[in-house]
Amino acid sequence: MAELWQSNATRLGERLALEYFDDAPIDPVYIAEQLDIIVEALPPNYQGVSGMLLEAGGNFGIQYATYLDNPGFENFSIAHELGHYSIPGHPEKLLSQGPHFSRAGFTTDNRCELEADHFAAGLLMPSTLFDAEINKHQSGISAVRALSRCFNSSLTAAAIRYAQRASDAIAVVVSEGNELCYCFLSEELKQVKGISWPRKGSLLPRNSVTHRFNSYRNNVLNCQCAENNSSFSDWFGCNKSYELYEEVVGLGRYGKTLTVLSVDELPDEEQELEEEELRASWEPSFK
């Protein structure tokens, strides 16, 4: 299960979105305007941050990055700043020394930034609307692309939300070079016993599609795609022979790669079998 603070931030974003919208896409600029927050674009040459939250004399403003020329990322960045504005304690903590500079996108370990990321995901993709849309699409990258378009969010944010809400056994991985930046597992996949969760900073499996893809920088910069069967045990560190499919897409000037790992089908008898093995291992011997 997700950490409570993550879930709380997501729900707060959802509640704010549904105050103003009954259907997708959610427009974070409109919501900001209703809160009397001025929203402005940063010039394309302003790089290194995703956005800023500013306050002067009780008046708030949001500035967002445009250097990636990605409307979905820009929406997520605005929603992220709305998170800093809305989450209790954030304005007082983050604005005490002047404007707050953000780096949205789940890449940091900073709790305030991650809270704002989860808030943004809830704001742009409320669960009631998102769950209904998931059922209209096939699984994997194709579903993530469709959800990203529907909710006008970044591809990575849509993929993470997909992992959080999908009933399938899937994992979403963002990587750069030969290192893993972060990984989200669906609840179904988390139930598989004995798996090792891929962690930030760990090396990508050498035989994976993603490792081969990232070996050529132009694959990432040119938003190329690749897919193939993959090894469940290589990714999750356990001796399981599940059929795993790996789909990869480069994220262009963002410099990272998005991977969706899909398990074809988890055996229904898996839990019962493991419980039987556990009981057998504890049966006393009377030889």
Q: Residue 285's pLDDT band (boundaries 50, 70, 90)? A: very low
- For residues 127 and 148, give the distance between their C-alpha atoms in angstroms, rounded to a whole number: 14
Q: Residue 287's pLDDT band (boundaries 50, 70, 90)? A: very low
Q: How large is the angle between the packed helices 111-124 and 155-165, nearest 10 degrees? A: 80
The dihedral over CA atoms of 32, 37, 41, 42, expressed in degrees to the nearest 10, equals: -130
Q: Residue 1's pLDDT band (boundaries 50, 70, 90)? A: very low
Share of the chain above pLDDT 90, in %: 74
Name which residue leads in pLDDT, 132 or 193.
132
Q: If we measure between CA atoms, which residue out of 261, 234, 239 comes closest to residue 174?
A: 261
The three-class DSSP label of residue 66 is coil
Quick one: 224 exposed, middle or buried, by C-beta within 10 A (0-12, 13-18, 19+)? middle
Name which residue leads in pLDDT, 8 or 271.
8
Name which residue leads in pLDDT, 75 or 264.
75
Average pLDDT over residues 165-186: 94
Average pLDDT over residues 228-248: 92
Residue with tokens 């049966």: 283
Name which residue leads in pLDDT, 286 or 257.
257
Inter-residue contact 202 to 210 (CB < 8 Å) = no
pTM for this prediction = 0.88
CA 39 to chain centre: 24
Quick one: 258 exposed, middle or buried, by C-beta within 10 A (0-12, 13-18, 19+)? buried
Q: Residue 273's pLDDT band (boundaries 50, 70, 90)? A: low
Name which residue leads in pLDDT, 279 or 96.
96
pLDDT at position 39, please?
Answer: 97
Q: How large is the angle between the packed helices 71-86 and 111-124, nearest 10 degrees? A: 120
- For residues 106 and 76, give the distance between their C-alpha atoms in angstroms, rounded to a whole number: 11
User: Is the pLDDT confidence value at 235 over 90?
Assistant: yes
Q: Residue 282's pLDDT band (boundaries 50, 70, 90)? A: low
Helix (H) or strand (E) holding 33: helix 28-34
The three-class DSSP label of residue 267 is coil
Average pLDDT over residues 166-194: 93
Q: Residue 286's pLDDT band (boundaries 50, 70, 90)? A: very low
Query: What value does the mean pLDDT of the chain take?
Result: 90
Q: If we measure between CA atoms, which residue out of 42, 34, 157, 29 comes closest to residue 99?
A: 42
Inter-residue contact 86 to 77 (CB < 8 Å) = no
Beta strands 179-185; 225-231: pairing state:
unpaired
Q: Residue 274's pLDDT band (boundaries 50, 70, 90)? A: low
Average pLDDT over residues 1-26: 91
User: Is the pLDDT confidence value at 272 over 90?
Assistant: no
Inter-residue contact 124 to 31 (CB < 8 Å) = no
Question: What are the angstrom distances between the C-alpha of 13 and each of 26, 158, 184, 185?
Answer: 11, 15, 19, 21
Q: Which residues in the chain belong to E strands, given as ranges?
A: 37-41, 51-56, 59-64, 100-102, 170-176, 179-185, 225-231, 243-250, 257-263
pLDDT tens digits for range 113-151: 999 999 999 999 999 999 999 989 888 999 999 999 999
